[in-house]
């Protein structure tokens, strides 16, 4: 799989996808190899569970990190006689022609996770190559996977490509920590909203901060509003100036907490003890953070982008993207729901996840794509290459 930074996953939706998918496949007896970037994992080559981890060099800059690591890892992978090489993302798919030519018995899969060129962090030249990457994702791979119905339709409309719609998956946690891990952030159960995301402009943290500030200002006598906090969980990814602006924007509101990136038990508790998740994103593939919140039985207040509408249809939980006033109104109306209504919304979310978005449901669909006959490849004993 080419496109994620490494394993174990510390942050990032693609990283979490590859992490969980690789572990699920390894538990089913497949031989999995994941290529990682040392700056991300801070570890040496070895194993994580039953998954083999290999680190290859990269040029750690905003524009060269992913493509150099992808290229070097691909050049290594074509000599390993893997049965399957699975690329993740449209940028990494730019080099997926290499195994098609130099390792013709290897099946090449690409997962189209999102339309990356819509992300505001990229300049014109990067967006140009990401557009080419969309074409290569649909043309160079033996099979292309799209993680949302809207991306499936996009590939059909733009490139005439029929893709395999297979959504992102999540695990449903059953062994939640009883420790109080949130005291350092000053957060109390059901007294905060949470946003979990990389802090990049298209995720909309600045919109949420403005809406939260307005909510406080417009409801000075409402104790529920005044006692409410907002936890923003995530950090910068080549976006230090944007994060600095977020901290300045939030400085007038004492009840906004920045936790930086979190994982493991702390992240689980941030989800489980939140009143709700708010996800003001302007562009997504199929957001794993939303799926995770729903898997904990939490309400999710979402912008009305197509990918969110695949997950939530309750109009009370939706607000027009890039509209601060509607976002504020949505939060206000949600706070006014009684506890039974909030609980019911969370229960319905959990039922949807159990039905369509757990790895037990998703992995067999991916296995089927891996095992489809491509002529010269008659049988597949899977090794998965994740970059």
Q: What is the pLDDT of residues 92-110, one digit of tens each?
A: 999 999 999 999 999 999 9
Residues 315-367 have pLDDT tens digits of: 999 999 999 999 999 999 999 999 999 999 999 999 999 999 999 999 999 99
Quick one: average pLDDT of 64-69? 91
Distance of CA 34 to the CA centre of its chain: 18
Average pLDDT over residues 299-320: 96
Q: Cα-flanking dihedrals φ and ψ of residue 182, to 5°?
A: -105, 0
The predicted pLDDT at position 49 comes to 86
Peptide bond into 8 cis (omega under 30): yes
Asked if 13-169+359-386 and 183-356 have one fold, the answer is yes
The CATH superfamily assigned to 13-169+359-386 is: Glycogen Phosphorylase B; (3.40.50.2000)
Of the two residues 131 and 188, the one the predictor is more confident about is 188
pLDDT score at 376: 41
142-175 tens-digit pLDDT? 999 999 999 999 999 999 999 999 999 999 987 6
pLDDT for the residue 304: 97
Q: Which overall architecture, per CATH, does domain 183-356 show?
A: 3-Layer(aba) Sandwich (3.40)
- The predicted pLDDT at position 19 comes to 95
- Convert the pLDDT of each residue in 227-282 to its tens digit: 999 999 999 888 899 999 999 999 988 899 999 999 889 999 999 999 999 999 99
Is residue 377 over pLDDT 60?
no
pLDDT at 375: 54
List, as one string, the DSSP characters of 271-291.
Answer: HHT-SEEEE--S--SS-HHHH
Eight-class DSSP state of 188: -
Exposed/middle/buried for 57, CB within 10 Å: 0-12, 13-18, 19+?
A: exposed
pLDDT at 103: 95
302-324 mean pLDDT = 96
The predicted structure's pLDDT at residue 381:
46
- Fill in the DSSP letter of residue 148: S
| CB distance 6 to 17 below 8 Å | no
Domain ranges of the chain: 13-169+359-386, 183-356
Q: CB neighbours of 243 closer than 8 A, spacing ≥ 6? A: 199, 235, 236
Averaged pLDDT for residues 178-201: 92
Give the pLDDT of residue 380.
Answer: 42
Please write the tens of the pLDDT for every residue from 17-57.
999 999 999 999 999 999 999 999 888 888 898 999 999 99
CA–CA distance, 300 with 278 (Å, rounded to integer): 6
- At 154, phi and psi to the nearest 5? -60, -45
């Amino acid at each position: 799989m080419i496109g994620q930074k490494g394993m174990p996953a510390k942050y990032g939706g693609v990283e979490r996808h590859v992490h969980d998918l690789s572990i699920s496949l390894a538990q089913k007896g497949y031989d999995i190899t994941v290529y990682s970037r040392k700056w991300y994992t801070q570890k040496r080559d070895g194993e994580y569970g039953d998954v083999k981890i290999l680190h290859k060099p990269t040029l750690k800059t905003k524009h060269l990190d992913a493509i150099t690591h992808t290229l070097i890892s691909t050049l290594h992978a074509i000599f390993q006689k893997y049965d399957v090489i699975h690329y993740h993302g449209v940028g990494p798919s730019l080099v997926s022609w290499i195994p098609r030519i130099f390792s013709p018995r290897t099946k090449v899969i690409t997962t189209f996770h999102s339309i990356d060129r819509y992300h505001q962090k990229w300049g014109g030249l990067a967006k140009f190559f990401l557009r080419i990457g969309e074409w290569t994702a649909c043309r160079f791979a033996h099979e292309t996977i799209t993680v949302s119905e809207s991306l499936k339709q996009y590939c059909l409309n733009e490139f005439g490509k029929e893709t395999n719609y297979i959504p992102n998956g999540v695990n449903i946690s059953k062994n939640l920590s009883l420790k109080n891990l949130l005291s350092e952030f000053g957060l109390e159960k059901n007294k905060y909203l949470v946003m979990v995301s990389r802090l990049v402009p298209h995720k909309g943290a600045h919109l949420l901060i403005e809406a939260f500030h307005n909510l406080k200002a417009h409801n000075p006598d409402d104790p529920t509003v005044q006692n409410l906090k907002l936890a923003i969980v995530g950090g910068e990814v080549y976006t230090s100036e944007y994060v600095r602006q977020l901290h300045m924007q939030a400085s007038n509101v004492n009840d906004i907490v920045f936790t930086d990136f979190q994982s493991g038990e702390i992240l689980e508790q941030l989800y489980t003890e939140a009143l709700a998740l708010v996800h003001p994103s302007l562009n997504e593939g199929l957001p794993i953070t939303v799926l995770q919140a729903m898997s904990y039985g939490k309400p999710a207040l979402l912008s009305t982008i197509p990918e969110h509408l695949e997950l939530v249809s309750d109009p009370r939980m939706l607000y027009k993207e890039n509209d601060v006033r509607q976002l504020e109104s949505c939060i206000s109306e949600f706070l006014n729901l009684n506890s039974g209504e909030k609980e019911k919304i969370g229960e319905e979310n959990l039922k949807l996840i159990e039905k369509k978005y757990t790895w037990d449901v998703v992995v067999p669909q991916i296995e089927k794509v891996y095992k489809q006959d491509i002529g010269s490849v008659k049988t597949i004993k899977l090794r998965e290459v994740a970059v």
